[in-house]
Amino acid sequence: MASFLLLIYKFLSIIFTPVVIIIVLLRVLQGKEISSRIKERFGFSSIKRPNGKLIWINASSIGEYLATISLIKKIRKIKPKTKILLTTNTKTSALLAKKITDKNIIHQFTPQDNILVIKKFLNYWKPSLVLWMESELWPIILDETKKNGLKMILLNGRMSDKSFNNWSYFKFFFKKIISNFDLILTMSKFDRNNFKKLGAKNLDFIGNLKFSNEIQNHNKLLEKKIKKIIFNRPVWLAASTHIGEEMFAANLHSKLKRNLNLKNLLTIIVPRNVKRSSGIKKKIKSIIVNTKKLKENLVNKNTEIIIDDSIGQLEIWYKNVKTVFLGKSYPPKGGQNPIEPAKNGCVIISGKMSNFKEIEEEMLARKSLIISNNFSGFYNKIKDSILEKKYTKKIGINAKKFVKSKDFVLDKTINKIRKYLV
């Protein structure tokens, strides 16, 4: 049954090719694609395939991309002659990949899940091994890659409860897709158990590769600008916010400023989708007039709320602002990964993190994370952190120690995949 459905899916992928082309072109017009590189979506490349062995690593978005950097460096050290083909699925991750200076690492966009496209892609690049990051499981790509006789490993395998519930209705189909992997290394025991319940084999729990993320080269000018903006002001950060959380942050700002008599309070909002920045500013200005976007260059000492409309610079804020509300958590929608702010010693205040259960449990046990579920709770904890209460300062210290205690994950992952690095 699963094989038959996959066959139908492959047939439909050909039929709907013109529709996909139109959708991609519309994305270009919306600024969501790099126009000069559209052909990569369809298996074409202007880059000549290098000679020798080539490992294909797919990392969908920024988070997955960053998790691969340390891994790639380790692989290149073990196999210095091996070339790396790194594919990502977002414009933002592609822009970050431009900073790669190693000529043995080639970046391309992830090809469309279309049988004609992936056949062309595989025939051109001829990878010797495929490493797939996290949770974007494209049926045709995985099936056709396996048919080419390639070893495939899923790294940082993630299966949230929401994804598990969705796949449960199509368990027979999921089992067919996931069977393409020779090895699955999950980021947590919860993920391993969810994969197992859905019929996955060759499972092992390693830990989250994002614990081994390297600190990125910052935009020095931007960091200088940020330091100047923050200078001696009480400040907190709402990071990776989703719809509704920006107004939540604005209301918190108003209450904190009023109740604590903090006339120079500064609130930083970094939306998950920076394209929403203008709309966010418009809404917030209705209650807090002195709201500015970072790129406007109009920020001054009277600015109360700054909306960061730049891309990929969140770690600079984590480095310079130690009170952090993590988005996608109020109301709870799975939460955001707390590793990056924890690595920077931030006091992390979040709603429930159902997408990161194991990390949440461990950090709570180590007193390195604060979880709240209502406005009053968030207000009190953010207030205490801004005022640098003794217990909140300790939470930030504990968070940094927690991440440090997990630096074995990269080496453990390498040991598991070493035999495949031929």
Local confidence pLDDT in tens for the 422 residues of the chain: 788 888 888 989 999 999 999 999 999 888 888 989 999 999 999 899 999 999 999 998 777 888 898 899 999 999 999 999 999 988 888 887 887 878 899 999 999 999 999 999 999 999 999 999 987 899 999 999 999 999 999 999 988 888 889 888 888 889 999 999 999 999 989 999 999 999 998 999 989 999 988 766 667 788 888 888 888 899 999 999 999 999 999 999 999 999 998 889 999 999 998 889 999 999 999 999 999 998 887 888 889 999 998 877 888 999 999 999 999 999 989 999 999 999 999 999 999 998 898 999 999 999 999 999 999 999 999 999 999 999 999 999 999 999 999 989 999 999 999 999 97
Residue 58: DSSP 8-state? E
pLDDT at 218: 67
> What are 240's two structure tokens?
């990776």
Tell me the C-alpha distance between 205 and 192, whole Å: 6
Q: What is the pLDDT of residue 215?
A: 66
Tokens encoding 370: 């604060």
- pLDDT in the model for residue 216: 65
Calculate the CA 85 to chain-centre distance. 19
| Planar angle of CA 41, 43, 47, nearest 5 degrees | 100
CATH number corresponding to 220-404: 3.40.50.2000
For 11-49, b/e burial (b = at least 16 CB within 10 A) is: eebeeebeebeeeeeeeeeeeebeeebbebbbbebeeee
User: Token pair 């001696």 is at which residue?
Assistant: 232
The residues that bridge with 324 in the sheet, in sequence order, are 237, 348
Which segments of 201-254 are extended strands (E)?
Answer: 203-205, 235-241
Q: Check residue 198 and report its DSSP letter.
A: T
Domain at 51-208+408-420: CATH architecture: 3-Layer(aba) Sandwich (3.40)
Q: How far does CA 53 lie from the centroid of its chain?
A: 28
Residue given tokens 């300062």 in the structure block: 393
Model pTM?
Answer: 0.87
Provide the residue ranges of all domains of the chain, joining segments of one domain with +: 51-208+408-420, 220-404
How far apart are alpha carbons 161 and 167 in whole angstroms?
10
Question: Tokens 């496209």 correspond to what residue?
Answer: 117
Residue 258 token pair: 């009023």
Most distant pair of Cα atoms in the chain: their distance: 67
